[in-house]
Amino acid sequence: MNRVTLQTATPADAEFLYTLLKLTMQNYVDQTWGWDEQWQQQYFQEHFVPENDQLIIKDGQRIGVISTEKTATELVLSKIFILPRFQGQGLGTELIRAVINEAARCGLPVVLRVLKANSSAKRLYERLGFVVTNTTETHHYLKLNPAS
């Protein structure tokens, strides 16, 4: 991989991960619901489970986060955020391909959801073979079956 390693987050990474959330998602959340800083901070604190997050490390620096969850029937890509200055370098594509390969080894489809406002992320997922399976007022749900 592109000199990138993964490392399980710790409680000490909370500030970095909240800043990462803001830098990568605030615009899309604002377009969808409006960004309420107090609500976002509280929601983040209540739902932050460090061991569920893998920090993306490049050249010794934290540059993003990826989270997956394996169930009996699917591999859920629940989060992938990369600092804006590291986007567009193929890192997200490499990481998502690694998730797809893991799902293939397990014989599971990969599923995810993306905010409708985040059309660039949706295009990336579709380029990698994901197809929209459902759409709500705010999200597209996508799926890729690596076996097909």
- pLDDT score recorded for residue 146: 85
- pLDDT score recorded for residue 3: 82
| Percent of the chain topping pLDDT 90 | 96
Q: Does residue 1 carry a pLDDT above 70?
A: no
Q: Does residue 148 carry a pLDDT above 70?
A: no
Q: Does residue 9 carry a pLDDT above 60?
A: yes
Q: Does residue 17 carry a pLDDT above 70?
A: yes
Instruction: Kindly state the average pLDDT of the residues 113-118.
Output: 97
- pLDDT score recorded for residue 2: 59
Instruction: Kindly state the average pLDDT of the residues 41-52.
Output: 95
Structural domains present in the chain: 4-144 (3.40.630.30)
pTM above 0.85, yes or no: yes
Q: Note the pLDDT tens digit of each residue in 106-115.
A: 999 999 999 9
**pLDDT tier for residue 130 given thresholds of 50, 70 and 90:** very high
Write the DSSP string, the chain: --SEEEEE--GGGHHHHHHHHHHHHHHHHHHHT---HHHHHHHHHHH--GGG-EEEEETTEEEEEEEEEE-SS-EEEEEEEE-GGGTTSSHHHHHHHHHHHHHHHHT--EEEEEETT-HHHHHHHHHTT-EEEEE-SSEEEEEE-TT-
